[in-house]
Structure 1
Amino acid sequence: MSESCNQPNQIPVTPACEVTSMQQMPFYDDSINFRNDNGCPTIKVPVVLTERSIQVVLETDISLSPAATEIKRVTKNVFLNQVKLIPVKFKEIGHTGYFEVQKAKLFISGYIRKNIEYSTAACNGTLQDQIVDIAFSGFAEINKDDFLVYPVIGVSDSSKAYFLNECNEEVPRLDKYFFQNHVKYNEQPYGELLGADFFELDYSPVLTDPEGAFSTLREKIVMDVFVKVLQVQQYKLNAKRVLPNFDEGTIG
């Protein structure tokens, strides 16, 4: 038996809303000519001194309230409070009073911000969320070969001149001196956070049953944090200054 093509009780189709559109006209475009001027500009820019991967190893106990039966998810971020380069070995640049740093200690401190999501023993209970900050502090050795560019530091100096007594040249005057201070102000090296890798083991220090609860979470974490150390330095370049050269008209 052939099927009927009639479809009773059809729902009427509502047409789509109409919108107004406008066809866009193409514009003519062409390249701009440039004028090159030879020169040796002096620039002052941040220079990358070194890029380091620093491993931080931590162990800590975290209290959970209310107690947990199962850890669902843990997310982490690292925050740096300090990246300080302390020079310990130098090489003078000519006789300028400026020195290249050949060796340094890199002090780093900050904290790992950890977000722990876990469930409790309650039936159909809500998911708990706890945020903790785990602090760390330490230093790394930066040797000569670890620098991409050496940091530069200028050393200040002071001098003091003494005088004899005008009436008795066999004794000095203790109330008269000449002082000279020569001060060099330096650009402070600073750090930038590039990224971090986290490897961790979280567990209850007391073995519990599958439905049991634990209120302490022990964490063993290894973090590789990647930092860039920079200093603003001044350089003279052999470069070309580039200026746009527009087509001539009635003006100019």
Structure 2
Amino acid sequence: MRNNCEPNPIPPVCPVSAQQQIPLFDEDIVPVTSPATPILKVPVVLAERKLQIVVESDISLTPAATEIKRVTKNAFLQQVKLVPVRFARIGTTDFFEVTRAKLFVSGFIRKDIEYSSSACNGTLYDRIADVPFSGFAELTADDFLISPIIGISNSSKAHFLNDCNDLNPRLDKYFYQNLVKYNEQPYGELLGANFFELDFSPIKVEPEGTFSTLREKIVMDLYLKVLQVQQHQVTSVRYIPTFDEGTLG
């Protein structure tokens, strides 16, 4: 005879209902394919650029700080504008490829500064500061992955001679013609930012002393895309899913 050392089953304290799921049969849907050359209107990448931005600023700290604990940063873009300055006509049309442009960029660096005061058992303070920046970059034809496109509007004005005297023009009769082209505005997309920063008190501070101004020198590498919605014809394969035959098969 052997001892029964197995413990008594313990019922669950908080039981819930459960249902075992049944595996379902699945298989590939075999499509019907056909060659196609659709015209797509999609955003295309005009350029991918790294801009180096250098800023210096003084940030006030209230109450005064004795030690900086941590600083985190994020970049925010408020404007990315492309201003064309050189063009190349596309065939005989009134559309032009941009071969040189100025890229205007502005925004701010949001800094979150955590610091301690001179109290031995004090509160950890938080200071948020938005440091603005702005500038422009020169983009040439070699900088564009694909050229921006712009259509030029034009207007015409026709003058007439006097009906009774062909020697004098009529100043009260004109013919006008205006052709207006509406272009897709190039725009920007933020990719990332790399910060190199030196923060210090502009006034020498003794150990355990306090300072109320934090001077920062930031070098930021800003990564961004410049895009424009354009039409492009591509070579592709059109896929149409097929189903099992039904009443219409």
Three-state SS of the structure 2 residue aligned to 1:63 is strand
Tell me whether 1:192 sits opposite 2:189 in the alignment. Answer: yes
Other-structure match for 1:8: none
Aligned to 1:93: 90
Aligned to 2:139: 142
1:41, distance to aligned residue in structure 2 (A):
1.3
> Could you tell me how far apart the structure 2 residues matched to 1:177 and 1:41 are?
44
Q: Deviations over 1:91-150 (max 9, x none)?
A: 001011100011111000000011111011122111111111110110011111111010
Distance 2:20 2:208 in 1: 67
Give 1:169's aligned residue. Answer: 166
Q: TM-score, normalised by structure 2?
A: 0.93
Write the letter of the residue equivalent to 2:223.
F
What does 1:1-252 align with in structure 2 at a 5 Å threshold?
16-17=12-13, 18-252=15-249
- Say which SS state the counterpart of residue 124 (structure 1) adopts: coil
Cα RMSD over matched residues? 1.4
More moved, 36-45 vs 59-68: 36-45
Task: Give the partner amino acid of 1:225.
Answer: L
Aligned identity (percent) is: 64
What do the CA deviations read for 1:129-184 (whole angstroms, capped 9, x no partner)? 11111101100111111110100000011111111111221111111111111111
Aligned counterparts of 1:19 and 1:155: Cα–Cα separation in 2: 70
Offset of residue 54 of structure 1: 0.4
34-43 vs 106-115, greater mean Cα deviation:
34-43
Q: Which amino acid aligns with 1:29?
A: D
Provide the C-alpha distance between the structure 1 equivalents of 2:41 and 2:247, rounded to a whole number of angstroms.
Answer: 39
Q: Which runs of 5+ in 2 are unaligned?
A: 1-8
Paired positions, count: 240
2: CA distance between counterparts of 1:20 and 1:42?
A: 54
Q: Distance in 1 between matches of 2:234 and 2:48?
A: 24
Distance across 2 between alignment mates of 1:170 and 1:247: 83
Q: Secondary structure at the match of 1:95?
A: coil
- Letter of the aligned partner of 1:228 in structure 2? K
C-alpha distance in 2 between matches for 1:64 and 1:39 = 64
Query: How far apart are residue 186 of structure 1 and its match?
Result: 0.4
Distance in structure 2 (CA, Å) of the matches to 1:172 and 1:210: 89
One-letter amino acid of the structure 2 residue matched with residue 44 of structure 1: K
Q: Deviations over 1:18-39 (max 9, x none)?
A: 4443322211111111011222
CA distance in 2 between counterparts of 1:14 and 1:240 reads 62
One-letter amino acid of the counterpart of residue 43, structure 1: L
Q: TM-score, normalised by structure 1?
A: 0.92
